[in-house]
Structure 1
Amino acid sequence: MSAPQAAHRPGAFKLPNKQHKAGRHRTKGQIDRENKGRQDAKSLSLRQKRSLSRNERRKVNRHERLVHRRRINDDFHNKERAPYLVTVISFSQELDAALIVERLASADPEASVLASERGNITYLHVPRFRARYGFVCPILAHTDNVLDCLKVSDIVLFAWPANEGLTDEQGLLMSTILAHGFPTAIHLVSGIPSKGKQRDKLLANVKDTMKEWNFVDDSTANLDTEQDGFVVLRNIQGIRKKPTLLQRRRPHLLVEKMERLDAEKGFCTLALTGFLRGPALDANRLVHIQGLGDFQLSRVDRKPDPVPGAKERIQPVSFYPDETQADLVTENTPDPMDAEQPDVEDLLKSGGAPTVTAKVPKGTSSYQAAWITASDDEEEQSGEDDDEDDSMDSDDSDEEYYDAADDVKGPGFLENEGDAFETATMASEAPGDFEDMEIDTHEVEKYRQERENVDFPDEVDTPLDQPAAVRFQKYRGLKSFRTSPWDPKENLPFDYARIFKFQNIKHTRKQVLAEIEKDPTPGSLLHGDYVTLYVKNVPSFIYDEWGTEMPMVVYGLLRYEQKMSVLNVVLRRHPSCDTPIKSKEMLIYHVGYRRFEAGAVFSQHTNGNKFKMERFMPTDDGPFVASMYAPIMFGPAPVLVFRRDQHGNEHLVARGTTLDVNPDRVIVKRVVLSGHPSKVNKRAATVKYMFFNRDDIEWFKPIEVYTPQGRRGHIKEALGTHGVMKCMFDNPLTIQDAVLMNLYKRAFPKWTYNPRVTRTKVIGGGMVNSHSLISLVTSASASVKGVEKMEH
């Protein structure tokens, strides 16, 4: 009998069998990524909340604050004290803005219609819905009017064409609206059959047109019959309102009536009446009239609501500002004894600058003579036509120019009428081939400069008539543009003593915005109040020149928003702009609720503590930053930039948003000096044409030189006395290379801020005749209960 077989015992290196996997399982990280931090509310008990980490508790608290803020906004807009303000924009020839309001007004026989004195506003009260509507039909040919109405509206109605797409002008207007932003949108169509192949074709055409402008999931509503108008009114009342950030943070009023009071010495008090919307308004705060500037209030009257259907009757109350009223101080008062640099006049008296004697025409002032002595050849040789102060390379003279510009005659001033007559006669005797041809020589020169800057970026020719050490005395060399230090407080211009700077702008912004969420004071005016604002010290000509159909919007300013500082905005060039835009060129900026004119400095939008200046607006779609002297704006806020041509028309050139308010942003201007290697011996090269005397070579000897192929080197010694030098490089170079040297100087914007911008026609406007809106609504109101004139 054999011995029993021993059981097998696995060794130490035995691997376990594979487990059966019943399907595909997700890892914990994948589950967390899919949930995106969301957790089941029932599973978060009190004990589990206490056991959360610090980061998790911060996320939970932030979510609770957002829910609370959303609830406050919903309650804020569900008060229904003010009528729903609706902007009507029609791109259809069959269904213009006036016809849309007519069909909506005739949808309910019990509705009543009222017309405002100003602003082209038509109020509609529908008792069946217990709702009130205010329809605004801006003139689409003026983009300023369209944007002003969109900034204060609750709803925007877009009427789309059924047979064809948008024209070029309509497309440019729509692109401007999308770049600026708008509230909740409702889309309308007309002339589509109820059934058949033609209906499917027209609907597909409308969908394709809307898809071009990113309205993919939005539905359309017909407006052919009275029943369709009834449905649209119901949709306006029931749709969720999405107010813009500008509407949630600043009180605003669309003016319906304007009166001029106490006119004296060119100034008056304007009584502006309308519905107040947004946060509470205090009589001590400043107000801003778009296109005019900032003003103080002398009194605020709360009046009864004149539109039928008001849920409550308010007794008239007047509020007056007290001693805590905000002042209109926009600039800081500089101390002339606190300047580090001497004054220009003192420098000239002390003999610090040489005196140049030149022959000038009879009657020429000393100021004109200073410009005449600077020859055009020197300006062309400098290669820096993008800003005027570089020809003389003196920032102090630039400040003196803008301070004395109002007291002297320009360089092209004609002394008598006879000279003007002779000049005009000579111009009329030009050859007939160019009589009908308008050539803007300034624009042609800008095209050439932009093309030269693209081919040879920042390259400048060394002048022959003066030493390079004098011409580029304010420039310096940097070992590394990214890591080399640059003190932001060094050699600041005089204008920096006039502006305001926050020690911690983020903390200040947080405090100012927190004031909006506080409970209003007893003397404040709330959303939906029908008020009259008495704005004092307004130019009297505004009352006569402001058209009755031009919307006027009044905004309440936040704290510090009237102070001047350096405003930085991030922009992108608009695809429709093909004109070269130079840095510091005067442009019209729409920044949030402000509209002003300024000359900004363009710079790259990159990381780091220094930013390279752009001589021209970048032609690609990349972002760039524009810095200018402007009032403080607590962003974010949309930004649109327009250019005014020689005919007075405005063209959209860029769009973007605000970046920050930071005077310490270091914008560095670069110039590149180029030389030609005449002899090359491995790593050594003899270079000429970069400098033209021995002293300049010794002056710029510490600065590094390089080649476009990536070779790095330094100046070893000067050869002779005519600007030939010997350079050593890290690697051998060829005779085809060019030797370059970078010099840097900080650039500052110019004080060209102008808050009063005249309204002109904008290219890209509309085709709608909204002038006959009131007459159409009046004629269509035979079936309406009654048409009344609004009593203020």
Structure 2
Amino acid sequence: MGQGEKEGEREALALHCCYSQGLPATCHAIQGLEKLGTKQRNSAKKATQKTIETRFPGERLHTLDSLQDGGSVLRFISNQKRRAVVCRDMHPHLLAESTQFIPSKENEEVGTLEVSGYVRGRPLSVNGLLHIPGLGDFQMTQITAPPDPHPVKARLHRPPAVMDTGEEREGMAEEIKVVAVADPAKQESLDREVELDPMEGEQTWPTEEELAGAVSRLQTPPTGQPLRPSEARRVPRGTSDYQAAWIVADSEDEDEEEGSEGEEVPVDDESEMDTESVTYGDTEKYDAQFDMEAEEQQFELLRAERENAMFPDEVDTPQDTPARIRFQKYRGVKSFRTSPWHPRENLPRDYAKIFQFENFSRTKKRVLSQEDNEAALPGWYVTVQVKDVLKPQAEALDPLSKPLVVFGLLEHENKMSVVHFVLRRCDGSSAPVKSKERLVFHCGLRRFSASPVFSQHTTGDKQKYERFFPREGVCVATVFAPIGYPPQPVLVFKPVLDTHQLLAVGTLYKVDPDRVVCKRIVLSGHPFKIHKRSAVIRYMFFNRGMSSTIQ
């Protein structure tokens, strides 16, 4: 930002993201004041100081136009008290000063990546996993300690005349020491999910014949009129034939509207619809390439959000669909707060693939208190050898032009589970956000995309499902994600065209697959007669069979 310039959108977004992620101690400096006159110099310095005061109260602005100013800034930085960033300091990490890729003898496209730098945070264990942002999780083979290129105390016995000779390089090679070598028996596994065993569950999974019989029975409704085989329905992307048979062909069906974006396909279509083609036009030719269908979808989404805010959870009973089919996934309860609900009831099959803690708080305390006697301590200059790295991935890394920070993972942090985040929407986001919409999460040291389920942040054994991300207050977003230990800051972005828009900020709440999120619906009707203890409601049910189903 230039002298006297006001804070723009990009600067405000960058500062807001830095604030939400957590900032260490800061130092503020300004350059170019000597080129201005005395009056302009004072006004520019006051304007910059005012801008800093809005976000960094009490911070001092330094000038940096001469060597004396540089010395003053360095003395200020050296005497400044460090401000801890908990999420960063609880993990071992190092800022890469150099990287080197060594291809393997069997396959030149895969090899070992050597990353050199100073260890910060916690001690780095060779038996743990290493996370490289943008690449993923990797195992380490060994950690070595080469000579420190920037020692605090220079070696007086080393003459300057031989600093660049071959003898000196040979001496440095001899000084490389092996700090630790990975032990296959103790090394963390890269497995993210539990291998599914169909014979281990309490309930026998249906066979293919039973599933086919269920589909044939469901295709013949009680009215006796079978469905047409080529009847088009709106189904979520990736839905199987068996799942599609359970979806009611109703455009106003709120039960399936939270799924992924669907498209009109026949029920017997065997295509898996794994990909989706989206074309974005040039913003300068907006009128010529106006997408009416996309605008209509956005309008319908906005109308649904407003309707949900005015009439929360209210659903009209369809006249052409029996209530036992329309509401087959729901149960009648007397009280949402006091009615019992077992957290292990009717779990999806994917729950067998995730990890769960018996006591998450106790596990976190144990993991953070672990010590490895063979780990590289903070402050050491080390070279970490990362195995099984692809050559294109290694070539994309350039520590000189783009800083690279690698993180050591704590125990279980590469395992998948049900993770909950407490989020609050940013002021600049105005577009409606539906549950299960694809979003991008920046959580601590990780970045991933997921389709969160929103729910209320309340106490109790059940939390109410939110169809849309509320514009005010906080809510809980639940996703399948790698395990993390709080506190960790979270930034949520919404993909918009070819960029990402900051949607919400928050923190990691907990890792708990037993947190029950219930979707509530309230059947609506027109009051006909109201008595002291009862009422007669019209247009809630349209035949006797419907009313006897919902009890």
TM-score interval for Structure 1 and Structure 2 normalised by the shorter chain: 0.7 to 0.9
Distance in structure 2 (CA, Å) of the matches to 1:497 and 1:613:
23
Matched, 1:177 2:38: no
Distance in structure 1 (CA, Å) of the matches to 2:477 and 2:243:
32
Match of 1:489 in 2: 344
CA contact (8 A) 1:358 1:373 kept: no
Distance in structure 2 (CA, Å) of the matches to 1:255 and 1:226:
29
Distance in structure 2 (CA, Å) of the matches to 1:279 and 1:557:
10
Match of 1:531 in 2: 382
Choose the corresponding residue for 1:273, options 109, 116, 120. 116
How far off its partner does 1:195 sit?
10
Choose the corresponding residue for 1:676, options 516, 519, 526. 526
Seen in structure 2, the aligned counterparts of structure 1 residues 547 and 586 have a Cα distance that, compared at 3 Å, is farther
Match of 1:378 in 2: 249
How far off its partner does 1:203 sit?
4.0
Aligned ranges 1:597-612 → 2 under 5 Å: 597-612=449-464
Choose the corresponding residue for 1:206, options 48, 56, 78. 48
Choose the corresponding residue for 1:255, options 89, 96, 106. 96
CA contact (8 A) 1:382 1:463 kept: no
Matched, 1:283 2:126: yes
CA contact (8 A) 2:316 2:525 kept: no
Larger radius of gyration: 1
Distance in structure 2 (CA, Å) of the matches to 1:230 and 1:292:
39
SS of match in other structure, 1:354: helix
Seen in structure 2, the aligned counterparts of structure 1 residues 290 and 373 have a Cα distance that, compared at 3 Å, is closer
Seen in structure 2, the aligned counterparts of structure 1 residues 456 and 345 have a Cα distance that, compared at 3 Å, is farther
CA contact (8 A) 1:303 1:531 kept: yes
Distance in structure 2 (CA, Å) of the matches to 1:177 and 1:411:
36
Distance in structure 2 (CA, Å) of the matches to 1:532 and 1:644:
37
CA contact (8 A) 1:585 1:599 kept: yes
CA contact (8 A) 1:381 1:463 kept: no
CA contact (8 A) 1:566 1:630 kept: yes
| TM-score, structure 1 as length reference | 0.58
Seen in structure 2, the aligned counterparts of structure 1 residues 390 and 205 have a Cα distance that, compared at 3 Å, is closer
Choose the corresponding residue for 1:233, options 66, 70, 74. 74
How far off its partner does 1:612 sit?
0.7
Q: Which moved more, 1:378-387 or 1:604-613?
A: 378-387
SS of match in other structure, 1:298: strand
How far off its partner does 1:283 sit?
1.1
Choose the corresponding residue for 1:506, options 326, 348, 361. 361
Matched, 1:640 2:481: no
Match of 2:304 in 1: 449
Choose the corresponding residue for 1:472, options 314, 327, 332. 327
Match of 2:273 in 1: 410
SS of match in other structure, 2:141: strand
CA contact (8 A) 2:25 2:83 kept: yes
SS of match in other structure, 2:524: strand
Equivalent pairs, count: 503
CA contact (8 A) 1:368 1:411 kept: no
CA contact (8 A) 1:386 1:583 kept: no
How far off its partner does 1:368 sit?
8.4
Aligned ranges 1:30-69 → 2 under 5 Å: none
Match of 2:175 in 1: 315
Distance in structure 1 (CA, Å) of the matches to 2:287 and 2:76:
59
Aligned ranges 1:352-751 → 2 under 5 Å: 354=217, 356=219, 358-360=228-230, 370=241, 378-384=249-255, 386-388=257-259, 408-410=271-273, 434-438=287-291, 440-441=294-295, 442-515=297-370, 518=371, 520-521=372-373, 523-546=374-397, 549-620=401-472, 622-646=473-497, 648-679=498-529, 685-700=535-550, 702=551
SS of match in other structure, 1:378: coil
How far off its partner does 1:655 sit?
0.5
Distance in structure 1 (CA, Å) of the matches to 2:544 and 2:382:
76
Match of 1:326 in 2: 188
CA contact (8 A) 2:441 2:447 kept: yes
Q: Which moved more, 1:174-183 or 1:536-545?
A: 536-545
Distance in structure 2 (CA, Å) of the matches to 1:340 and 1:654:
40
CA contact (8 A) 1:190 1:223 kept: yes
Seen in structure 2, the aligned counterparts of structure 1 residues 606 and 275 have a Cα distance that, compared at 3 Å, is same
SS of match in other structure, 2:210: helix
How far off its partner does 1:267 sit?
3.6
Seen in structure 2, the aligned counterparts of structure 1 residues 373 and 566 have a Cα distance that, compared at 3 Å, is closer
CA contact (8 A) 1:384 1:460 kept: no
Q: Deviations over 1:275-319 (max 9, x none)?
A: 222221121111111222211112222211223655579931123
Gaps of 5+ in 2: 156-171, 220-226, 232-237
Distance in structure 2 (CA, Å) of the matches to 1:330 and 1:179:
28
How far off its partner does 1:355 sit?
5.3
Matched, 1:306 2:149: yes
SS of match in other structure, 1:307: coil
Percent identity among equivalent residues? 38
Choose the corresponding residue for 1:340, options 203, 225, 250. 203
How far off its partner does 1:353 sit?
5.3
How far off its partner does 1:329 sit?
2.2
How far off its partner does 1:588 sit?
1.1
Seen in structure 2, the aligned counterparts of structure 1 residues 371 and 541 have a Cα distance that, compared at 3 Å, is farther
SS of match in other structure, 1:247: helix
SS of match in other structure, 1:185: coil
How far off its partner does 1:262 sit?
2.7
Seen in structure 2, the aligned counterparts of structure 1 residues 266 and 676 have a Cα distance that, compared at 3 Å, is farther
